[in-house]
Amino acid sequence: MKKNILLDLLFTFMKIGLFTFGGGYAMISLIENNCVEKKKWITHDDMMNVTVIAESTPGPIAINCATFVGYRQAGLIGSLIATLGIVLPSFIVIYVISMFLDNFLGITIVANAFRGIKIAVGILILDAAITMIKKMHKKVLPRTIMVCSFIVMLLVNIFSWNFSSISLMLIAGVISLVVFVASNPLEQKGGAGK
């Protein structure tokens, strides 16, 4: 049984890695489709949490997501197999390109194909964002943080301000933590000796 899940993890993440252009954000939609909706390996809340955690930790977001899903399904070996599955196709493609083509993007047909791929990547990222927004908890604080973050990043891009998205994530995290602590005061335990 464990062999079957390992092969399933490997081939699922190889498929995601092979057919997704545009990096981790473009892969989120496919990871959710395969791991949450089709195979039910994780829940949508798990996917939201792992996306946030993967964005806040070192390494590409898709690799962190694959590692998490693999670990959930088959422990350490599962995390290694899922990570290998998502990395291997890109490695092989880049290796082959570097071996045989000196000026790959200089080829007219390839350059035109990549222009089309850019549009598809944008749509995949937008699809992942819309799906997450739809399934977000309908509470005031998350929605307010989302809208404010969108407005701030839009203004940063329009006016070319020097403001890091990491700073914005840290500010949002601090605000959420402060609100959580303020709304859930710690209960005092009786007696120091307990």
Residue 171 CB-density burial (10 A; 0-12 exposed, 13-18 middle, 19+ buried): middle
pLDDT higher than 50, residue 191: no
Helix (H) / strand (E) containing 31: helix 24-31
Pair of tokens at residue 183 = 């709304």
Per-residue pLDDT of 153-169, as tens digits, reads: 888 888 888 888 788 88
Distance CA(139)–CA(180), nearest Å, equals 13
Per-residue pLDDT of 101-152, as tens digits, reads: 667 767 788 778 877 877 777 787 777 778 777 777 778 888 888 888 889 9
Distance CA(81)–CA(9), nearest Å, equals 7
Distance CA(11)–CA(73), nearest Å, equals 14
pLDDT higher than 60, residue 192: no
pLDDT of residue 21: 67
Distance CA(59)–CA(184), nearest Å, equals 33
pTM here is 0.60
Residues whose CB falls within 8 Å of the CB of residue 28, separated by 6 or more in sequence, listed in order: 51, 61, 62, 65, 125, 128
